[in-house]
Amino acid sequence: MTKQELVQKMQESNAYLPGKKVKLDFGDEGKIMLDGTANSVSEDDGQADTTIKVSWADWQAMAAGQLDGMTAFMTGKLKVEGDMSNAMQLQGVVSKLRG
């Protein structure tokens, strides 16, 4: 799945937290903003309540169920800046993408 396909799938699945902005930062691969204030998902950058930093390869492994999010966090493959509770809530939202 490309990042553009992920953005489209997240938008279709309403993969954002109402009233919150969460940024997925894939480093050189770019960013995805899950904007629950505008009910949108885009490749925009900007201020966010929570920023989740993870490599694109590790994100793909998590999306495929090959890497557990908590394991990724504990091993330093996934870093969270800002409100940790948003990252925890997002885990449930992202699980919708597997369906």
62 pLDDT more than 70: yes
**Distance, first Cα to last Cα, the chain:** 14
Alpha-carbon span 5 to 15, nearest angstrom = 13
Asked whether the whole model's pTM tops 0.85, one would answer: yes
Set out the domains of the chain in order of their start, with CATH numbers.
3-98 (3.30.1050.10)
Q: Write the pLDDT tens digit of every residue in 11-48.
A: 998 889 999 999 999 999 999 999 999 999 999 999 99
